């Protein structure tokens, strides 16, 4: 589903954000992307969804190359990105408007838009929140609403960037349930390694723009040397074993 081959990205100021990253994710797989701050996780997501440009042929999602202008237009139907801060994603005056934003951009009919919004809000457990104002929602509600904004576009791949940030334990648990019940492909960037253990059988470790490790979550996250080298910690659950 996701094919990344020697993907590199350099910012305008010369900083290298990604340096020859290669990996593949199968359809329906849930993979965690972990690494210290500044590792390049968000940049990778922005490249994968086509928001950041780059050379063609370095990545494909569902056969689409996000660097190809013609194919990039189809990316929003395929890839849903949930950004770190839900306030960046909920920019409309009401939750309904936010969730409808994507389907409207895809050119869906008004009836389809209404149906998509209702389905997405039901899926995240916010069926009665359509009329709410985004800035008045709790952190957990905002996060779920942000996920609804991409689910309404019915993507086959979800890119979740630090989804448990700002969440209290209840909100975090609800998020884990929500992600667990979604059947598509998921790439999850997070510092929350306990959540990784709950959700993702496979982990990619990214550090300094390079892929440092790729393997089963339990064995990689239990490797104290690997974790320490890349600014991470062995999750408490694995330490107690």
Partner 1 sequence: MTLAYRDPSIPDSPPARWDPRWKLAALLVFAVAVAFLRSLPPLGVALGIAVCLLLIARVPIVIILARAGLLLLAVAPFVVVLPIFVENGWPIAVAIALRCLTIGLVSLFLLRTETVADTLAAARSLGVQGTLVMIAQLAYRYALTLFSEARRLRVAMLARGFRVRTTGHAYRSLGHAAGALLVSGGERAERVAAAMRARGFDGTPRALVPFRSRTVDALAFAGIVFVSATLLAWEFAP
Residues that bind partner 1 (CB under 8 A): 46, 49-51, 73, 76-77, 79-81, 83, 85, 87-89, 91-94, 96-97, 100-102, 104-106, 110, 113-114, 117, 130-131, 133-135, 149-150, 153
Residue 65 Cβ vs partner 1, minimum distance, rounded to whole Å: 16
Residue 138 Cβ vs partner 1, minimum distance, rounded to whole Å: 14
Closer CB to partner 1, 135 or 241, in the complex: 135
Closer CB to partner 1, 103 or 235, in the complex: 103
Closer CB to partner 1, 129 or 172, in the complex: 129
Residue 64 Cβ vs partner 1, minimum distance, rounded to whole Å: 13
Q: Are 202 and 215 in contact (CB under 8 A)?
A: yes
18-57 exposure pattern, b = at least 16 Cβ within 10 A, e = fewer: beebebebeeebbbbbbbeeebbbbbbbbbbbbebebeee
Query: What are the counts of helices (DSSP H) followed by strands (DSSP E) for the chain?
Result: 12, 9
Q: Are 71 and 80 in contact (CB under 8 A)?
A: no
Q: 214 exposed, middle or buried (CB, 10 Å; 0-12, 13-18, 19+)?
A: middle
Closer CB to partner 1, 110 or 216, in the complex: 110
Look at residue 132 and give its three-state secondary structure.
coil
Closer CB to partner 1, 93 or 216, in the complex: 93
Residue 219 Cβ vs partner 1, minimum distance, rounded to whole Å: 33
The residue whose two tokens read 């550090």 is 207
Both tokens of 40, joined, read: 């390049």
Closer CB to partner 1, 3 or 94, in the complex: 94
Residue 227 Cβ vs partner 1, minimum distance, rounded to whole Å: 29
Among left, alpha and beta (phi > 0; psi -120 to 50; other), residue 50 is left
Residue 185 Cβ vs partner 1, minimum distance, rounded to whole Å: 16
Smallest CA-to-CA distance from 186 within 212, 155, 164 is with 155
């Amino acid at each position: 589903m996701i094919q990344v081959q020697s993907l590199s990205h350099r910012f305008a100021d010369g900083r290298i954000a990604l340096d020859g990253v290669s990996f593949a994710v199968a359809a329906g797989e849930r993979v965690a992307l972990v690494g210290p701050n500044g590792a390049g996780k968000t940049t990778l997501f922005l490249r994968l969804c086509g928001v950041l440009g780059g050379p063609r042929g370095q990545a494909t999602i569902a056969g689409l190359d996000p660097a190809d202008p013609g194919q990039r237009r189809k990316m929003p139907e395929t890839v849903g990105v949930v950004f770190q801060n839900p306030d960046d994603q909920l920019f409309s005056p009401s939750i309904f408007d936010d969730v409808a934003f994507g389907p409207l951009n895809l050119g869906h009919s008004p009836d389809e838009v209404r149906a998509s919004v209702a389905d997405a809000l039901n899926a995240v457990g916010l069926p009665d929140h359509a009329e709410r104002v985004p800035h008045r929602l709790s952190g957990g509600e905002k996060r779920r609403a942000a996920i609804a904004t991409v689910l309404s576009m019915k993507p086959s791949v979800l890119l979740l960037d630090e989804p448990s940030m700002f969440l209290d334990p209840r909100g975090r648990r609800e998020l884990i349930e929500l992600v667990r019940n979604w059947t598509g492909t998921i790439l999850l960037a997070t510092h929350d390694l306990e959540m990784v253990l709950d959700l993702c059988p496979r982990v990619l470790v990214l550090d300094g723009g390079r892929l440092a490790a790729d393997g089963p979550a339990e064995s990689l996250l239990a490797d104290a040397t690997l974790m320490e080298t890349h600014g991470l910690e062995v999750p408490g659950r694995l330490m107690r074993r």
